[in-house]
Structure 1
Amino acid sequence: SDAGVVEALSLTLTLDSSFSGFAENTTILGLAVDHRRNRLLAAVNTPSPHLASFDLSRSSLRLLFLSPLPSSSSDQPAVANDVTVDAAGDAYVTNSGGNVIWKVDINGSP
């Protein structure tokens, strides 16, 4: 807010029965909404990095894909930090520790 007050945003997601959930110790560090395609993209670490895509057009989220991201050639562990999407629907996932940006196409292929 303009007054310097931090407001918390709480979001409860209902997943449909086709998605059984993530493995234990999974973290989601970045989210992006692809408004043109009505989907939610998530930078997921399970602990290896993945990009998850969910369909937002229904009352419950449906997993479209969960794409593993290629391992990094650096000595730093590969971590999916954040995600953004371009006009064509391609997603870009950052691994700031490894100085890498992964590109994932609209169908989930890295």
Structure 2
Amino acid sequence: MSSDFPAVVYLNVGGRHLTTTLSTLTKYPNSKLAGMFSGRHPVAKDKDGRYFIDMDGDVFVHILNFLRIGTMPPPERAKEVRDYASGFGLNVLFTAIARKIGKAP
């Protein structure tokens, strides 16, 4: 992990302020999300110094919950979260949701 990032990370995801740990964001080292928080991919900061991700925070929170404790999103959010998982290269989550909603690759 890069020392450029703090152990506790303050996020602004589409206007929703979230707090998590660096280890949560980098749990899957080959993901784009881990790349953002290891210095491999750039990540902007907002005016208050929070790391900014230009996505829907109400969907992204389900990504964080999966990374934290393996929680699957509720059925009404599953397709959106699956799409985010694909975009972030979180193949484990993408596949789990695809199987759950009957669209496994």
**Alignment TM class, shorter chain as reference:** under 0.3
Task: Select the structure that is richer in helix.
Answer: 2
**Hey, which of these two has a bigger chunk of strand by percent?**
1
Higher relative contact order, chain-length normalized (CA < 8 Å, sep 6+)? 2
When normalised by structure 1's length, the TM-score is 0.26
TM-score (norm 2): 0.27
Greater Rg by CA: 1
